[in-house]
Amino acid sequence: MDAPTARNRPPTHPRSPAAPPPARLALRPPSFPPGPVCGAWWPRSDDLEVELPGLADAFADQKSRVTRIASHRGTWSTAPRTLRLPSHTVQVAWLVSGCDPHSIRLFSRNLRRWDLLVIPPDTADTSAARLMTAAADPTNHLTASALMAAERGRLPGHDTE
């Protein structure tokens, strides 16, 4: 067995993190006034520290730079107070009331606010597609929880009355 040398020693510096995967995001058209939700986000996990960079990048491309977020305390696996992104830091507020447990509230530098339906990561593709379409529909007037309840009602084994 060879002793570690400069040639076969593993690097001592951490590798730079890979770019986040593109966010699965659907937003209402900009010409329509916001409803209870302004669109939907389907994260790949419940780890906000991993998921937020992709959302922030996609949201900045379409709307504005995210500077603060608010979410229901029980939605995510961890509850950091700040999240460091490559370009800036996002402040996080964890709420137990006043915030739909199926949504995330994004704030931008210009003090605009957007509420997005958060589709659970383990949602089936067909259900997620329906939810994303419904949340981005300009005629939608349902809250995030109402959208989730409507989708659960479509699934086998639930009453449809």
What number is the average pLDDT over the span 38-47?
93
pLDDT category at 2 given cuts 50, 70, 90 is very low
Whole-prediction pTM value?
0.81
Output the pLDDT for position 70.
Answer: 92
CB contact at 8 A, 52 and 118: no
CA angle 60, 82, 45 (to 5 degrees): 70
CA-closest candidate to residue 117, choices 89, 143, 153, 97: 143
CB contact at 8 A, 61 and 30: no
What number is the average pLDDT over the span 13-25?
65
Output the pLDDT for position 15.
Answer: 41
Task: Quickly tell me which residue has 């086998």 as its tokens.
Answer: 156
pLDDT category at 161 given cuts 50, 70, 90 is very low
124-134 confidence digits (pLDDT tens): 999 999 999 99
State yes or no: pLDDT of 6 exceeds 50.
Answer: no
What number is the average pLDDT over the span 71-87?
85
Report residue 56 as tokens: 């922030």
Higher pLDDT, residue 146 or 78:
146
A 10 A CB-CB count for 18 gives 6
pLDDT category at 20 given cuts 50, 70, 90 is low
Whole-Å CA distances, 143 to 14, 35, 42, 88, 114: 42, 8, 16, 30, 13
Higher pLDDT, residue 144 or 1:
144
State yes or no: pLDDT of 74 exceeds 70.
Answer: yes
Q: CA 95 to CA 139: how far, in whole Å?
A: 28
110-121 confidence digits (pLDDT tens): 778 889 999 999
3-state secondary structure of 101: coil
